[in-house]
A and B are shown apart, each in its own frame.
Chain A
Amino acid sequence: MSNHFKKTLFFLIALVSVTFANAASHTYQNNHVNKPISITDPWIRSAPANAPALGLFLRINNHTDQELRLISAHTKGYKRIELHRTIDSHGVMKMLKQTFMPIPAKGELHLKPGSWHIMLIGPERVPSEGEQISVNLKFNDGSAKMIKASVRKGGMMKHHSIH
């Protein structure tokens, strides 16, 4: 194989690689543009069989340039579902009902124990550990996201966002 041919082959491989890399990156960016909101790690804390309320936690990422708001959550088998936030007010833990949850532009809202959470009230049946529960989340831009939250154990109250 002549040196000239080797160089040409190398150049062609490099060109194809760069083209593919660009295409992949472009696809990824397009995906991002097409998905203004992404949800990660949705979970419901496993609770006693007679628990009157359950907590649903997740991470919501807003990829747009504007604040988005989670306005409601829906799933079957509960008396009602509310958006809540726990705050630590001078050592007194207060649970405040929210009309919406703000997700900052290009930012994240982390729903976690001791902070923002979705409250599933009056379960017809408390789900067992390992079950997956479908929940529909609605946002103020008219969009909705169907998620599957897995039921698992959870503790460790992290630092609270408000003091």
Chain B
Amino acid sequence: MSTKIFTMIGVVILLAIVLLYSLNTHKDYKSLSSELASAQIMHNPQRPLPDFSLIDQNSQVFDNDRLQGEWSLLLFIYTHCPDVCPTELANMAMLKAHLESQNSAVIPNIVAITFDPLRDTPEVLKTYVTHFDKTFVGVSGETQQIDQLVRGLGAYYERVIYDDEGKPVTLKKHEPLPDDALEKGYIINHTARIYLISPDGQVLAGFPTPHKVDEMAGDIKRLIQAFEK
């Protein structure tokens, strides 16, 4: 009888500790939401970032470990994108310069992962992303691995081709591209959220469009302070 009681008490104490820990880790970020100009809290210990293994612009492995120990801003792009992606990359270059001018203690690494590994090889990405800032990292890899990360972050993309009459046709998720797609070209509709990854390799917050540099800089500072408390 006494063993049972002790076991039950032990279980209750353990549950209470787990609950308190869980409430505690959520508390700070929830209260922070009202202070943020544009960032949305995405921190969720119940839903860690999935395991992924990709290739960076120097053909080195880019996996979960590369997000450990430092702050990163992660965005998805594709180089055939004439408007949204170069705008995002230009904004990230301005954000980095802004943080540097403020002598910010933390300047997150900027990591641009392609939605389009077929055309965006590591070499292509190297030339492309370093145009905006020499330190930017471009990441390619297998579609399945990219998709895993896309899903894990709640991002989305769809490929669009044009038929013979010039009408746009959205391909289904796993539908292969037509043989002439590379020659004729295709575009990608996609979400453009930018993710702040904390040094534990987990997503802390997301920045929806439009990306205003000064607002992002202020939010990043607040988020880092809350994380380090």
Does residue A114 face the partner (Cβ distance < 8 Å to B)?
Answer: yes
Does residue A16 face the partner (Cβ distance < 8 Å to B)?
Answer: no
Residues A53 and B80 in contact in the complex (CB < 8 Å), given A92-B156, A157-B209: yes
Complexed CA–CA distance, A95 and B86 (Å): 14
Q: Name A157's contact: one of B91, B130, B158, B166 (CB within 8 Å).
A: B91
Chain A residues within an 8 Å CB radius of B81: 53, 95
Report B67-83 CB contacts with A as 1/0, cut-off 8 Å.
Answer: 00000000000011111
Q: Is the CB of A93 within 8 A of B210?
A: no
Q: Is the CB of B128 within 8 A of A155?
A: no
Does residue B221 face the partner (Cβ distance < 8 Å to A)?
Answer: no
Q: Which of B15-23, B101-109, B143-151, B187-195 contacts A (4 or more CB under 8 A)?
A: B187-195
Chain A residues within an 8 Å CB radius of B80: 52-53
Does residue A97 face the partner (Cβ distance < 8 Å to B)?
Answer: yes
Complexed CA–CA distance, A77 and B181 (Å): 22
Interface residues of A in 30-56 (CB under 8 A from B): 45, 47-55
Complexed CA–CA distance, A117 and B208 (Å): 21
Q: Is the CB of A96 within 8 A of B128?
A: no
A interface residues, how many (CB within 8 angstroms): 35
Interface residues of B in 100-138 (CB under 8 A from A): 119, 124, 127-132
Per DSSP, are chain B's interface residues mostly helix, strand or loop, or mixed?
mixed
Complexed CA–CA distance, A54 and B80 (Å): 9
Chain A residues within an 8 Å CB radius of B168: 96-97
Q: Name B83's contact: one of A84, A92, A97 (CB within 8 Å).
A: A84
Q: B188 — nearest CB in chain A belongs to which residue?
A: A95
Report B40-56 CB contacts with A as 1/0, cut-off 8 Å.
Answer: 00000000000000000
Q: Is the CB of A97 within 8 A of B162?
A: yes
Residues A93 and B189 in contact in the complex (CB < 8 Å), given A50-B79, A54-B82, A159-B210: yes
Q: B residues within 8 Å of A by Cβ?
A: 79-84, 86-91, 93-94, 119, 124, 127-132, 156, 158, 162, 166, 168, 185, 187, 189-193, 208-213
Query: With contacts A48-B127, A50-B124, A92-B189 known, what are 9 further pairs, Cβ within 8 A?
Result: A45-B90, A51-B128, A51-B131, A52-B119, A55-B82, A84-B82, A95-B84, A96-B168, A114-B83
Q: A residues within 8 Å of B by Cβ?
A: 45, 47-55, 84, 86, 88-89, 91-97, 113-114, 117, 119-121, 153-160
Some 15 contacts from A to B, beta carbons below 8 A apart, are A49-B127, A50-B124, A51-B79, A52-B80, A52-B119, A93-B191, A93-B192, A94-B189, A95-B83, A97-B168, A113-B87, A121-B185, A155-B91, A156-B90, A157-B209
